[in-house]
Structure 1
Amino acid sequence: MKKFVLAYNPVSGDTMFRKKLDHLIAMFQERYCILVPYRTSPENRGFSGFVKAVMPTGIIIAGGDGTLNEIVNIMLKNGIKLPIAIIPSGTSNDFASCLSCCAGKFDSYIDAIIDGKTTVIDVGSIGDKYFINVASAGMLTSVAHDVDRRLKSTFGKLAYYLRGIGELPKFRSLDMTVEADGIVKKVSAFFVLIVNSNVVAGLKNVSVNAKLDDGKLDLIMLKQCSLPELVAFTAETVAGKDIINNKNVEYIQASSFRIDCDKDVQSDIDGEPGPKLPLEVKTIPAAVEIYIR
């Protein structure tokens, strides 16, 4: 009989996942599998020991991108080599959207989990931290951190867009130095994104070339431009248009980056506060095994 640990965040998104917990347990029981719930908490210091005690076949993560980031970090730092599944239940579920693993009938995804259908994906690393979807720095970084939880619960991803649009007139470029696989460039930019997938902040096709298993990360910088150009870029991004060929975008694919700035700038890792610049970013190929349909 297969066992799975369910790591769920009780306060992610609209906080409604708790009401679905019993139904999810029943769905696994119907398939003669055991689902062992683990309620996440700040820092999740007991998760590693919990997993080792249960000895599951795999781990199912229910939450947003932040919850996914926390659990993946614990697994990689503690040598827990188990496949993961994702049940998106946060305000922003960018990585799950990229995989489309839960699109359509949820029953078929559970069947795929139990059948052990998996693939391997890369992750990024910054010092002793890992990110599964995106690292960023610049004028947009503080938006996700400043959005009130009640506003996120009411408006979901729209809360981020509303806050971001309100910040546009305040944008100021930053003089950044970027080293990509040993090649150095100096760019005056509003922000920098280093992405693993093509979905960021609910926006699809942010990087049409991004692949989860190519051993590379994609760097996207919005260079200094006029306010009308900035507004036009924002509209094109929200509309899902290809932005990497935009004249105001610096785009680089590489396996490693170093990003520095002459100002005090904090980064963001998968939607949570990260270290201040400079950043040393590396790709960790085939780091995580993940269940797919």
Structure 2
Amino acid sequence: MFMGEMKMKKAMLIANPDSGKERSTEYQQKALEAVKRNGYETSIRLTEKQSDATKYAREACSKEMDLLIVMGGDGTVNEAINGLAEQKHRPILSIIPLGTVNNLARALSIPLQTDAAIELLEKDTFTKEIDIAKTHERYFMSSISIGPIAEAFYGVPSEQKSKLGALAYVLEGAKKLRDDEGFNVEIDANGKVIKKHAFLILVALTNSVGGYIHFNPKAEVDDGKMHIFIFEELSAFNIFSMVGSTLSGNLQNDDHITYLTANRITIRTDQILTANVDGEEGPHTPVKLKLLPSHLEVIVPKP
């Protein structure tokens, strides 16, 4: 390199071509053109199968890319985060949401309108460091849930999610609730052990769960905490009460819920249950969770 020569910044775009439907290619080109105008050398990777986004994100780390743009839904974003987590070099992350729920984008106030999200790449970049969490050898950005109801959620067909959005998860959960008798659980939260009979365990990192951004107003993407909700009673009557508590942003104080926070959690159950990790099938219980504070730097709108 000659004296005074500037090293060109490098950006990679990971895109799920199935997201965005007929405008997918158009959005990809707009994003690439936006970063090129800011002086980036660009490359693009299109996902074709499960874990492709993880593979490409690790490639971006190994090539010491400056910026990684992820275009797709929560599944694609989660895969990319699994590729970035705990790598020696981690590029700044940009999220262009094209999914059904877009939990992390909502929590970060990233515009859900695609052109507006792309415009963030052209403006003076403002970033925020966010927490993620690890369970066994997987990482998650939004939430992990445990219980027969949670297991029903990752069985929601893609067509149903596209048509009904977050309501699809509510309908599947309601079907499961009719036959659910609950389970016994022991939770170790930073050394404090709690034993309960529960119907659902939810551990959230942000205020957005299932696309509802006021689920837990106390949660911040960078607060260094995992927020634990133990749903001890679920019936038709109690659900109405919980919906009211959720709408008022007061779910943690609901009489049928135990709420606590921690940065290290172990969850044991009296029956083998499969965790739902950011909407996808995860590990079986017992499950260990560890917070990785301020682990990723993400482009967000200016406050």
Same-fold call, TM cutoff 0.5: yes
- Describe the superposition over 1:111-140 as per-residue Cα deviations: whole angstroms up to 9, x where unpaired: 24xx44222111111122111111111132
- Describe the superposition over 1:97-121 as per-residue Cα deviations: whole angstroms up to 9, x where unpaired: 0101226744541224xx4422211
Specify whether residues 13 and 181 from structure 1 end up closer, same or farther in structure 2 by C-alpha distance, changes over 3 A only.
farther
| Map of 1:110 onto structure 2 | 121
Alignment map for 1:236-251 (pairs within 5 Å): 236-237=245-246, 239=247, 241-251=249-259
Question: For 1:133 and 1:176, how far apart are their aligned partners in 2?
Answer: 22
The one of 8, 12, 18 equivalent to 1:5 is 12
Deviation (angstroms), 1:25: 2.7
Q: Is the 8 A contact 1:5 1:35 kept in 2?
A: yes
Any stretches of 5+ residues in structure 1 without a counterpart?
A: none
- Taking every aligned residue pair, what percent have the same amino acid on both sides? 26
Any stretches of 5+ residues in structure 2 without a counterpart?
A: 1-7
2:151 is paired with a residue of what secondary structure? helix
Question: For 1:229 and 1:241, how far apart are their aligned partners in 2?
Answer: 16
The letter for the 2-side match of 1:255 is N
Question: For 1:282 and 1:263, how far apart are their aligned partners in 2?
Answer: 22
| Map of 2:28 onto structure 1 | 21
Number of equivalenced pairs: 290
Deviation (angstroms), 1:13: 7.0
The letter for the 1-side match of 2:27 is K
| Map of 1:270 onto structure 2 | 278
Deviation (angstroms), 1:159: 2.1
1:60 and 2:69 matched: yes
| Map of 2:293 onto structure 1 | 285
The one of 99, 102, 107 equivalent to 1:90 is 99
1:205 and 2:214 matched: yes
Alignment map for 1:1-293 (pairs within 5 Å): 1-12=8-19, 16-40=23-47, 41-44=49-52, 46-48=55-57, 50-51=59-60, 55-102=64-111, 105-106=116-117, 108-112=119-123, 115-234=124-243, 236-237=245-246, 239=247, 241-293=249-301
Question: For 1:29 and 1:53, how far apart are their aligned partners in 2?
Answer: 21
Deviation (angstroms), 1:80: 3.4
- Describe the superposition over 1:217-274 as per-residue Cα deviations: whole angstroms up to 9, x where unpaired: 110111124431134324653x464211100011001111111001110001111111
Say which is worse superposed, 130-139 or 154-163, in terms of deviation: 154-163
